Structure 1
Amino acid sequence: MTDEILRAASALLDTTLAEPTDLGGSPRSTVLRCTAGDGESVVVKAYRDEPEALRCFTAEAAGLALGAGAGPKLLAVDTDFPLLVMEDLGAAPSLADALLGDSADKAREALLAWARAYGRLAAESVGREEEFAALRSRYDRGEQQWDIDHWIHKAVDGLPAVLDSLGVAAPDGLMAEISPVIELTRFPVYSPGDICPDNNLLFPDRVRMLDFEGAEYHSVFVDAVYTRMPFSSCWCVFRLPQGIQASIEDTYRSEVVKGHAELLDDEVWREGMRLGMLAWTVDATTALTPRVIEEDRPLHRTRRPVPSLRQLLRYRWEILLSEVSGEVPELPAVAETMRRLLAATERWDVPSMPLYPAFLSTDLG
């Protein structure tokens, strides 16, 4: 297969690619660093010929083209193979490396750079939906079905069965309080999709983003809430000091309001962030709980340190409970559900979520 990829990519670039190094792809793709005829290296990413991989190929090609400069430069695309050739960004530490390291200052600066980069990309993308749709059509094999079984719909639909598996009775009115997340579409922005710490390389002048397989337009709050939870769908999850959490949220918001001025309204921002937290918490509950009913496991198969899945779930429930509870709870059924989930899983006997390793010696909040 490697030889076929090299031949196709070489023909596409009109040069000879050699010395392939496997960078580790996924079940959907093969990723190779290759040396071109001029001695420069490029990265070739080839996709499997099956529906999910083809959706990722189309999204990544269109996403890299739209978000030029945010990620690696898109050098060439072969829709028939399918594969794409990208600039080789080389070696650089990731945001995950900074957070799992031993310097609070470096981690804080990396977080602020990450928040600034995504806020700026989101703001600059406002109003470019038609351009992105045209790019997606250009690279689409015609076999994709977009926006089918959206993750929020699947999460909401699956919640009752998951609650039942834990012996948690849903309070009256729960689904009515949760249902607004299905309409989490206001203030659309472009996003690479997977904005987790390991997909962000830290260079002296900027953050460069990797993995555009999920590139799409979605509500700004789907990404913005990563600053508060933190990192809603990722494996690199620990607790942030409160002051730093507030700083990265403010940094992201200060950039994205340049594209959506309505987000300057504190009430609009608060409501959207709450919906985003609710959506991602329901998603984690639905997706992860069935995997740990019988036995806990690490959040990532190989990376260390990581929390366990049970730790993550309880952490998500605790954060959402603190967000929606109060003297006059705005979402009383959601708050009660979080209490019941935490009570039902006390028997898991897992430690509370610790700080990110970089902040362990300096709790700033």
Structure 2
Amino acid sequence: MIGPGADPPWLPSDARLGDGVDLGGSTRSQVRRHQVLEAPPSWGSSVVVKRFLPQPDGHRAAMGYTRERVGLTHLPGTPRLLASHDPSRTLVLEDLGADSPTLADVLLAERATPGASGRDTSAAAYWQAIEWAGALGRTVRSPAGMPDAARAELADAAAEDRRVRQDYPRTGLSRLREVAGVRHAGAATAEILDAVERLERDTARHVLGPGDTCPDNALLTPAGVRFVDLEGAGVRHVAYEAAYAAEPFSTCWCVLTPPVGLTGAMLTAFTAGAGEHLPGLADDPDWPAQVRVAVAAWVLSGTLWLLDGAVADRAMAPAGRRGPQFRALLLSRWRWVVHECAEELPDVAAACDEALRWALRAWRDGSPLELPPYPAFAD
């Protein structure tokens, strides 16, 4: 039992909690659900306690606690922040319950075929994905609305984010040159860095967003979509958030092939939601190109993260979960850029085309190179 006067120091003096159940966490944090024995009524019958683990200086995850605390404080559609303790980097959060599925659960679930129930399952997954995108658009906020103290707390994270938005695509292209001999890598680097800089200068569309909005971080609750795991919260151009709908799911492990038309509908829903805070977004002819630039930047960044796993022909999903092979995912991402970005980013598209043709030759004897469909939509 955890109570007043006992360790840990993050517990308010008027609260007592049960011992708790481990919810998994990661190498960055420990997450536990605790029964509430005594606390303010707003805490409910249970809470989730997330304690961030020490990280090496300069490691990007070292900012996770500050990012998540600021995000939980200022972004709607997230768990309520009930208490925080800076010295121990601990957050006490509203418990959203164990019964609500994530969007990943829905997309990766087998259809209830045959018969009408199967069609209903598929349609439900389709509309839940669109609702996720609309909720994500409505979640982003202008950083101008944050108190000065919160903006100051995010200053180091913002500087870090600006650096990696250039370093990651650059290094991804450098790796393609080293591993695949991509000749367009130099021209593509200059092109993508120039395009990224244009997004950096478009400060009117910079927003505070939750960051890692993968399907497994989105709970489908009776009250609507709720976003959890805000360790990547920060200020960036809204196109980087929109890319999760268009691509889809820019930094996620649970990426398979969506049905035709779904990502377009998701981007439309995201744009409508974000347009509540950024008037005129849907009518701006430059907006689709900005989203394509952001997707291309994510793809080149993902090339850095995924290429070694693809060369080794590994699978991405956590144990016991369905997910893609590294190779199939990378090829799918490169194809997206080749098909969608040839007009505004011709050198980037050419580099991805080179990578694609190299991979089809080099990896022809390994795992399948086509990304399978999401089970929720499979015939």
TM-score range, shorter chain: 0.7 to 0.9
The correspondence for 2:190, drawn from 173, 176, 181, is 176
Distance 1:256 1:296, change over 3 A: same
Partner of 1:342: 356
5 Å-filtered alignment, 1:147-162, equals 147-148=159-160, 150-158=163-171, 159-162=173-176
CA shift for structure 1 position 250: 0.9
2:37 and 2:182 map into 1 onto residues whose CA distance is 62
SS at the partner of 2:47? strand
Contact 2:31–2:50 (Cα < 8 Å) also in 1: yes
1:214 and 1:33 map into 2 onto residues whose CA distance is 22
Distance 1:332 1:136, change over 3 A: closer
2:93 and 2:148 map into 1 onto residues whose CA distance is 21
5 Å-filtered alignment, 1:51-62, equals 51=57, 52=59, 53-62=61-70
- Cα displacement string for residues 276-329 of structure 1 (whole angstroms, at most 9, x for unaligned residues): 111011101122113332x2111123242111011111000001101023xxx4
Letter of the aligned partner of 2:33 in structure 1?
Answer: R
Letter of the aligned partner of 1:345 in structure 2?
Answer: A
1:131 aligns with 2:146: yes
Letter of the aligned partner of 1:205 in structure 2?
Answer: A
Partner of 1:298: 315
1:84 and 1:31 map into 2 onto residues whose CA distance is 10
CA shift for structure 1 position 7: 2.4
Distance 1:287 1:6, change over 3 A: farther
CA shift for structure 1 position 4: 12
The correspondence for 1:217, drawn from 235, 242, 248, is 235
2:371 and 2:284 map into 1 onto residues whose CA distance is 29
Partner of 1:96: 104
Letter of the aligned partner of 1:339 in structure 2?
Answer: D
Distance 1:62 1:136, change over 3 A: farther
1:46 aligns with 2:51: yes
1:200 and 1:9 map into 2 onto residues whose CA distance is 30
CA shift for structure 1 position 348: 1.1
The TM-score with structure 2 as length reference comes to 0.85
CA shift for structure 1 position 86: 0.8
SS at the partner of 1:225? helix
Distance 1:41 1:225, change over 3 A: same
SS at the partner of 1:173? helix
Give 5+ residue unaligned stretches, structure 2.
39-43, 112-120
Most deviating of 178-187 and 73-82: 178-187
Identity percentage of aligned residues: 33
CA shift for structure 1 position 11: 3.8
The correspondence for 1:283, drawn from 294, 301, 308, is 301
2:307 and 2:26 map into 1 onto residues whose CA distance is 24
Contact 1:44–1:84 (Cα < 8 Å) also in 2: yes
Partner of 1:254: 272
2:88 and 2:4 map into 1 onto residues whose CA distance is 10
Instruction: Let me know the Cα RMSD of the aligned residues.
Output: 2.5
Partner of 1:71: 78
CA shift for structure 1 position 336: 1.8
SS at the partner of 1:227? helix
Distance 1:28 1:112, change over 3 A: same
Letter of the aligned partner of 1:305 in structure 2?
Answer: R
Give 5+ residue unaligned stretches, structure 1.
none
Letter of the aligned partner of 2:51 in structure 1?
Answer: A
Most deviating of 281-290 and 47-56: 47-56
The runs of at least 4 consecutive aligned structure 1 residues that moved more than 6 Å come to 2-6
1:206 aligns with 2:214: no
CA shift for structure 1 position 180: 2.3
CA shift for structure 1 position 80: 1.4
2:4 and 2:28 map into 1 onto residues whose CA distance is 16
1:3 and 1:302 map into 2 onto residues whose CA distance is 36
